Structure 1
Amino acid sequence: MAAPVIGLSTYREQAAWGVWQQPADLLPTQYADAVTATGGLPVLLPPVTGVGAADEVVARLDALVVTGGADVDPARYGAEPHPRTAGWRPDRDAWETALLDAAASVGLPVLGVCRGMQLMAVHAGGALDQHTPDLVGHEEHSPGGDAFGAVAVRTASGSRLAGLVGEVLEVRCHHHQSVRDHPGYTGVAHADDGTLEAMEAPGERFCLAVQWHPETAADVGLLAGLVRAASSYAADRA
């Protein structure tokens, strides 16, 4: 069977390479490498406008990863920006929301990573805590710069997530925001300070999201699980 096609949403940023400095669609290579290492075929999905574009893209995918990145626009959940909330990208919010709508309509497997989890919660009608250190009194979830925080996480017994990564693990995080409400999802992992670190939808469909970055770790159980779900989806569609 051919490798399942895994769509990866991307950043759209001002970037520099060689003699060029201009807007670019980009994503850390670790995402594609992790998908390839677990048997998938990665495809990058830059923000696209146009009626029906997300449906056409999703029709060609076997799974979707909503990747990390900038803060979600607080207006999407009816909030004013916190002083530390910055850099939201309305074009990306709109594109990924359309992808989630299209994915839900056909039962496509979905994994959210960091910002991806936050957007999935907002898409479902939930809301975010815009600066987690205000709640927990420390910055271990995002120590600053390009560093990842090492966070101990405990998963919920019997959850899909626990079946993929085990009961207790240390994860690599880089998030200053976190999910407050997540209608339609079950919280399935928490940090020791109580921060929600993962959620999943009930039922047979693979629809799971984590606040950490599984693509950066040697243990890619999450992405391996997504690729297996994508293979099953592709086989059922065929």
Structure 2
Amino acid sequence: MAGRPLIGVSTYLEAGAGWGMWELEAALLPAGYPRLVQRAGGLAAMLPPDAPEHAAATVARIDGLVIAGGPDVEPHRYGAERDPRTGPPAPARDAWELALIDAALAAGVPLLGVCRGMQLLNVALGGTLVQHLDGHAEVPGVFGRHAVKPVPGTSYADVVPEESSVPTFHHQAVDRLGTDLVPSAYADDGTVEAVELPGPSWVMGVQWHPEMGDDLRVMRALVEATRGR
């Protein structure tokens, strides 16, 4: 592949976003995501929610895919009743991002899931989620940090071989792993902090928010994986 690979990043779709005199529905993405892609050597493209049947054509136009963080996955997607602490649903985004994940896996397009994105990857492969856990989002609107330990022998450990402190904010996590997913990092309390899908394609999910920190290694690994296709 010549030049910088095109990395698609899924987005929010929010009503009532305001700028200047305008208040309109808007496709939104925290600027940390495209900046991280750019700093890691890629070009960033926003992928707002669309009809799921357009996912395969969308994935065919990009070199790599990032499923960004965001709202809680609807519990019915993994066969669970809603916990009172689960946040408001985002059905259009769930449907679109699940279709993007399926298309990327089918096409062998390198895929990185971030926070919600890791959880949705797990759901797409038949896994379930813990709907609430304490200690990973203690101050509303403020990213904390905690240690993450890699699992030796995993692709994540090849990228980040040492224990590291990562920016984090979440209240849900992986419970039962999806088909063929393996855990590749843990928090001190045993929470699964990274997963990967062994095979010919590069597929990884991280529970934390690399776009809120200075460590480029995971995103660089995604970018490099696109060059190897």
Normalising by structure 1, report the TM-score.
0.93
Question: Contact conserved, 1:9 with 1:46, CA < 8 A, in 2?
Answer: yes
Aligned residue for 1:197? 193
Percentage of matched positions with identical amino acids = 47
Aligned residue for 2:159? 164
Match of 2:206 among 191, 201, 210: 210
Number of paired residues?
226
Task: Give the C-alpha shift of residue 50 in structure 1.
Answer: 5.5
Unmatched runs of 5 consecutive residues or more in structure 2 = none
Amino acid at match of 1:171: V
Cα pair distance change 1:4/1:77, threshold 3 Å = same
What secondary structure, in the 3-state scheme, does the structure 2 residue paired with 1:190 have?
strand
The separation in 2 between residues aligned to 1:92 and 1:210, in whole angstroms, is: 19
Amino acid at match of 2:170: H
The separation in 2 between residues aligned to 1:157 and 1:101, in whole angstroms, is: 28
Give matches, 1:115-130, under 5 Å. Answer: 115-130=116-131
Aligned residue for 1:11? 12
Q: Confirm or deny that 1:188 pairs with 2:184.
A: yes
The separation in 1 between residues aligned to 2:21 and 2:226, in whole angstroms, is: 39
Task: Give the C-alpha shift of residue 204 in structure 1.
Answer: 3.1
Q: Confirm or deny that 1:232 pairs with 2:222.
A: no
Unmatched runs of 5 consecutive residues or more in structure 1 = 134-138, 234-238
Question: Contact conserved, 2:52 with 2:96, CA < 8 A, in 1?
Answer: no
Question: Contact conserved, 1:82 with 1:130, CA < 8 A, in 2?
Answer: yes
Match of 2:46 among 24, 44, 47: 44
The separation in 2 between residues aligned to 1:104 and 1:203, in whole angstroms, is: 11
Residues 74-112 of structure 1, C-alpha deviations (whole Å, 9 max, x = no match): 010111111110122000000001111111111010000
The separation in 2 between residues aligned to 1:48 and 1:95, in whole angstroms, is: 6
The separation in 2 between residues aligned to 1:126 and 1:23, in whole angstroms, is: 32
The separation in 2 between residues aligned to 1:157 and 1:71, in whole angstroms, is: 30
The separation in 1 between residues aligned to 2:224 and 2:92, in whole angstroms, is: 31
Aligned residue for 1:33? 35
Question: Contact conserved, 1:131 with 1:176, CA < 8 A, in 2?
Answer: yes
Residues 191-232 of structure 1, C-alpha deviations (whole Å, 9 max, x = no match): 001111010011231100010011111111000100011122
The separation in 1 between residues aligned to 2:129 and 2:224, in whole angstroms, is: 30
Give matches, 1:59-74, under 5 Å. Answer: 59-74=60-75
Q: Provide the alpha-carbon RMSD of the alignment.
A: 1.0
The separation in 1 between residues aligned to 2:102 and 2:204, in whole angstroms, is: 15
Normalising by structure 2, report the TM-score.
0.96
The separation in 2 between residues aligned to 1:144 and 1:69, in whole angstroms, is: 17
Amino acid at match of 1:35: V
The separation in 1 between residues aligned to 2:52 and 2:100, in whole angstroms, is: 12
Task: Give the C-alpha shift of residue 5 in structure 1.
Answer: 0.5
